[in-house]
């Protein structure tokens, strides 16, 4: 007797939607609270709180609608057999074009082209509303419609250039992998991730943003001095024009071994009240590097990736699994898609676990910056960025624990204020 794989997947998708909607309702109630959390009274201005509250409530209402539409589409696609129908139609298109429909790579690329078109069409209304209504209403969106469309075209172009060789390689590996398939798939994805981490900041990111060296001056000198004191191999220090798209702010670092780069958003430089606040943010980021958080996260992702491929190899030849989803054949890509759906429960648990680890890393990086003497400016920077980004001031603890990879501001400030806190160990 065939197991009801499809019914189980649909059931869990709906249960997760109900659970996450419950969390969203709790968070929406927290966002409606008319007063600041007590620890933030006198720290965050009332004007910024009111703006933050309005922005967060707008985002929350949008989330309810977006997630409702998404679950309806996803369940309909699975329940009504649209996935196998789409696979069949993509094969007919290949045959109509005079190509070899028996070639799984060509058939798969035709299928993915249709999926990409469908995704662009269904995502477009939400992207437009998010950027040009909500973000614009609250002063964040800086994109013109022309720039928005150019970004979409560039993204599609990159998918057309990068997608076919990657998909072709995965199909070939699965077809030829034999008993060591999981190792081969993991090895390919490992090399690909290293390659993309190397090429993305050099070739891809500049297609969307302009990176310029941070000008000589006090800020540059302080960052270079801090990096040198920690033996951080800083090679380049950039400012990126994030303000061309949004007034949200950020900072990050990238690079391998002795070739590290730090990138500051121009909005971060503009929003922080002084250079000490910016340097404190960089001290936090350097804490992640010094404490090997990036390496630990990368290793965790690689282990999870290998386990996923191992699980896929156990079910890829299951005819019952494919038939449950409406397929008479067993295409490689479809097998990967179906497998991802069947392990959704595990993925949610893993995501929750990774969030807990990420939050612990954030506390540790804050404590690292504090030990360097940046407690006061980091505290001021966190408040400034919270205000400028209109981040939620009131958060529901259940929602925060499940969704947030960074601790809420109240918790971070409390940790910074605690002398001899365990978070500093």
Shared domain for 11 and 101, answered yes or no, is yes
pLDDT for position 421: 44
Instruction: Tell me, yes or no, whether 348 lies in a domain.
Output: yes
Shared domain for 48 and 124, answered yes or no, is yes
Q: Which of 372, 373, 380, 371 is nearest to 412 (CA)?
A: 380
Q: Which of 354, 372, 394, 198 is nearest to 285 (CA)?
A: 372
Domain span holding position 242: 211-271
Instruction: Tell me, yes or no, whether 151 lies in a domain.
Output: no
Instruction: Tell me, yes or no, whether 261 lies in a domain.
Output: yes
Q: How many CB atoms lie within 10 A of CB 214?
A: 17
pLDDT for position 249: 79
Contact (CB, 8 A) for 378 and 39: no
Strand extents, DSSP E, 256-352: 260-265
pLDDT for position 257: 67
> 45-86: per-residue pLDDT in tens?
899 999 999 999 999 999 999 999 999 999 999 999 999 999
The mean per-residue pLDDT over the stretch 337-361 comes to 91
Confidence of residue 323 (pLDDT cuts 50, 70, 90): very high
> 207-235: per-residue pLDDT in tens?
888 989 989 999 999 999 999 999 998 88
Shared domain for 105 and 221, answered yes or no, is no
Shared domain for 247 and 126, answered yes or no, is no
Q: Which of 315, 320, 353 is nearest to 337 (CA)?
A: 315
Confidence of residue 419 (pLDDT cuts 50, 70, 90): confident
Active-site residue, selected from the candidate residues 276, 366, 388, 411: 366
Mean pLDDT of the chain: 91
Instruction: Tell me, yes or no, whether 386 lies in a domain.
Output: yes
The mean per-residue pLDDT over the stretch 321-326 comes to 93
pLDDT for position 422: 41
Q: Six-digit token pair at 418?
A: 């605690």
Structurally, the chain folds into a number of domains equal to: 2
Enumerate the β-bridge partners of residue 238: 213, 263
> Is 50 exceeded by the pLDDT of residue 173?
yes
Calculate the CA 89 to chain-centre distance. 32
> Is 90 exceeded by the pLDDT of residue 1?
no
Instruction: Tell me, yes or no, whether 16 lies in a domain.
Output: yes
> Is 60 exceeded by the pLDDT of residue 423?
no
Shared domain for 77 and 134, answered yes or no, is yes
Of the listed ranges 154-158, 193-197, 361-365, the one predicted with least confidence? 193-197
pLDDT for position 2: 65
pLDDT for position 269: 87
Range with the largest mean pLDDT of 96-100, 280-284, 384-388: 280-284
Q: How many CB atoms lie within 10 A of CB 251?
A: 18
Q: Which of 401, 399, 397, 362 is nearest to 378 (CA)?
A: 362
Shared domain for 91 and 18, answered yes or no, is yes
CA 50/CA 36 separation, integer angstroms: 9
Strand extents, DSSP E, 187-273: 211-213, 234-240, 251-254, 260-265
Shared domain for 231 and 340, answered yes or no, is no
> 18-47: per-residue pLDDT in tens?
999 999 999 999 999 999 999 998 888 899
Q: Six-digit token pair at 190?
A: 């490992």
The mean per-residue pLDDT over the stretch 329-336 comes to 93
- Has 341 been labeled as part of a binding site? no
Which letter, b or e, does each residue of 169-195 get, where b requires 16 or more Cβ atoms within 10 Å of its Cβ? ebbebbeebeeebbebbbebbeeeeee
- Has 284 been labeled as part of a binding site? yes
Shared domain for 12 and 133, answered yes or no, is yes
Q: Six-digit token pair at 365?
A: 């990086």
Shared domain for 121 and 35, answered yes or no, is yes
Instruction: Tell me, yes or no, whether 181 lies in a domain.
Output: no
Active-site residue, selected from the candidate residues 135, 285, 396, 411: 285
pLDDT for position 229: 93
> Is 90 exceeded by the pLDDT of residue 171?
yes
**Residue 418 is a catalytic residue:** no
Residue whose pair of structure tokens reads 């992998």 in the numeric block: 177
Confidence of residue 187 (pLDDT cuts 50, 70, 90): very high
pLDDT for position 325: 94
- DSSP string covering 349-390, please? HHHHHHHHHHHHHHHHHHHHHIIIIIHHHHHHHHHHHHHHTT
Q: Six-digit token pair at 294?
A: 């990036």
> Is 90 exceeded by the pLDDT of residue 306?
yes
pLDDT for position 420: 59
Contact (CB, 8 A) for 73 and 122: yes
CA 122/CA 144 separation, integer angstroms: 21
Among 271, 302, 323, give the residue marking a domain's end.
Answer: 271
> 239-282: per-residue pLDDT in tens?
998 888 887 878 888 877 677 888 898 888 888 888 999 999 99
Enumerate the β-bridge partners of residue 260: 234
**Residue 285 is a catalytic residue:** yes
Q: Which of 222, 286, 218 is nearest to 251 (CA)?
A: 286
Q: What is the CATH number of the domain that holds 262?
A: 3.30.2010.10
CA 254/CA 179 separation, integer angstroms: 36
CA 244/CA 132 separation, integer angstroms: 14
On the CB side of 148, how many CA atoms lie within 13 Å of its CA?
15
Instruction: Tell me, yes or no, whether 420 lies in a domain.
Output: no
Contact (CB, 8 A) for 331 and 104: yes
Q: Which of 385, 375, 377 is nearest to 421 (CA)?
A: 375
Instruction: Tell me, yes or no, whether 110 lies in a domain.
Output: yes
Shared domain for 21 and 125, answered yes or no, is yes
CA distances, 91 to each of 78, 105, 169, 337 (Å): 19, 11, 20, 18
Residue whose pair of structure tokens reads 């109240």 in the numeric block: 410
Shared domain for 33 and 136, answered yes or no, is yes
> Is 60 exceeded by the pLDDT of residue 425?
no
Among 271, 304, 339, give the residue marking a domain's end.
Answer: 271
Shared domain for 136 and 10, answered yes or no, is yes
């Amino acid at each position: 007797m065939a197991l009801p794989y499809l019914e189980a997947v649909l059931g869990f998708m709906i249960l997760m939607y109900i659970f996450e909607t419950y969390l969203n309702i709790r968070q929406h109630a927290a966002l409606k609270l008319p007063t600041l959390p007590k620890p933030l009274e006198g720290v965050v201005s009332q004007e910024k709180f009111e703006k933050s509250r309005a922005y967060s409530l707008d985002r929350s209402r949008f989330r309810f609608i977006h997630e409702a539409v998404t679950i309806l589409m996803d369940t309909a696609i699975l329940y009504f057999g649209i996935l196998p129908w789409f696979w069949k139609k993509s094969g007919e298109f290949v045959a109509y074009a005079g190509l070899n429909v028996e070639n799984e790579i060509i058939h798969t690329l035709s299928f993915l082209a249709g999926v990409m078109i469908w995704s662009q069409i269904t995502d477009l209304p939400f992207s437009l509303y998010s950027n040009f209504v909500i973000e614009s209403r609250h002063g964040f969106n800086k994109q013109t419609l022309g720039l928005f469309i150019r970004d979409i075209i560039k993204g599609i172009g990159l998918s057309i250039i990068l997608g076919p060789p990657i998909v072709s390689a995965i199909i070939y590996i699965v077809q030829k992998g034999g008993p060591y398939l999981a190792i081969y798939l993991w090895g390919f994805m490992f090399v690909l991730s290293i390659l993309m981490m190397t090429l993305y900041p050099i070739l891809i990111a500049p297609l969307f943003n302009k990176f310029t060296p941070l000008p000589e001056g006090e800020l540059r000198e302080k960052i270079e001095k801090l990096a040198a004191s920690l033996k951080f191999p800083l090679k380049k220090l950039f400012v990126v024009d994030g303000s061309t798209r949004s007034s949200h702010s950020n900072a990050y670092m990238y690079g391998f071994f002795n070739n590290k780069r730090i990138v500051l958003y121009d909005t971060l430089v503009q929003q922080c009240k002084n250079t000490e606040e910016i340097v404190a943010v960089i001290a936090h980021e350097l804490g992640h590097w010094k404490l090997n958080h990036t390496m630990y996260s990368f290793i965790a992702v690689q282990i999870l990736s290998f386990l996923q491929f191992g699980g896929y190899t156990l079910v890829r030849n299951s005819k019952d699994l494919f038939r449950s989803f409406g397929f008479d054949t067993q295409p490689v890509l479809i097998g990967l898609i179906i497998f991802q759906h069947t392990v959704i429960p595990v993925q949610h648990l893993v995501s929750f676990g990774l969030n807990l680890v990420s939050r612990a890393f954030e506390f540790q990086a804050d404590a690292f910056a504090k030990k360097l003497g940046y407690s006061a400016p980091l505290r001021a920077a966190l408040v400034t960025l919270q205000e400028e980004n209109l981040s939620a001031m009131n958060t529901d603890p259940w929602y925060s624990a499940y969704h947030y990879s960074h601790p809420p501001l109240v918790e971070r400030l409390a940790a910074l204020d605690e002398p001899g806190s365990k978070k500093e160990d």
